[in-house]
Amino acid sequence: MSSRKCHKVFLSIVLCIFSLAASAQVAVDEKGTFLFTGVSMGIPGNNKFVFYYGYSPSDNFQSLVALPFFKLHKNIQLMPGYMMTKTDGNDIFTNLQHHFLPSLILNFKLGKRFTLTDRNMYFRLKRKNQDAVSFYRNRIGLIYQTRLFNKPADIFVHDALFWSLDNGNFTRNRVILGATLKAFDWLSPQFWYVLQNDTGLFPRHQFYLILTVPLENFGVFKSKDKTN
């Protein structure tokens, strides 16, 4: 696919997302705001690990997220992720929910600037005094590499579908539009807008700010080059 055609496809997708968001404004249940702060670090073998603490004032939500990425092939990554959350006012580490997020991620370069990505996840949620529930989650997306404010940046759009493995039906769809800016050696902010649709509920608008300190830029856990 030529660069011009890729640009047209990406622009069409973005315009479609904004159209969906505008049409959903008349029936929005509520808005959610989320802040995640954390670190990323390189692991020998061209692998990566990220860790975040998340907080949402709108949802009374806290979380800890651990996501290791292991490169199996130039186009394939394994991510045995885990997230711990709580959504009440009790002390931290009480009344917790455990999210097990093993995923297989496929990435395909489409020219110099575009990457097609497809994340296939088995999502297992364990809650206190409730039965565990399981989902298959597929998130397909397109990433565009560019520059913003004279800094390297990624602009992306994703669509995530949730299929209940317990009930055999679709339960959620999330459309994500966002950008990652490599603003400094010590900080990479990421911005998400999410249009979330749950079965039987009004659409919901969510806004995410994700702040990552890239420790790999400072050689943390990075394998040293060998010299003869």
Predicted local confidence at residue 12, as pLDDT: 59
**Separation CA 66–CA 79 (nearest Å):** 10
Q: What's the one-letter identity of residue 153?
A: A
Residue 94: pLDDT band with limits 50, 70, 90: low
Strands 188-198 and 169-181: antiparallel
Residue by residue, DSSP assigns 91-153 as PTTSS-EEEEEEEEEEEEEETTTEEEEEEEEEEEEEETTS--EEEEEEEEEEEEEEEETTEEE
Residue 201: predicted pLDDT: 78
pLDDT at 7: 55
Q: Which stretch of 57-66, 187-196, 213-222 has the lowest confidence by average pLDDT?
A: 213-222
Residue 165's pLDDT is what?
96
Q: For the residues 146-151, what does the mean pLDDT come to?
A: 90
- Residue 27 reports pLDDT greater than 90: no
Distance CA 201, CA 173 (A): 12
pLDDT of 13 reads 53
pTM confidence score: 0.83
The confidence band for 6, taking pLDDT boundaries of 50, 70 and 90, is: low
Please name each of the domains of the chain with its CATH number: 3-31+66-81+95-213 (2.40.160)
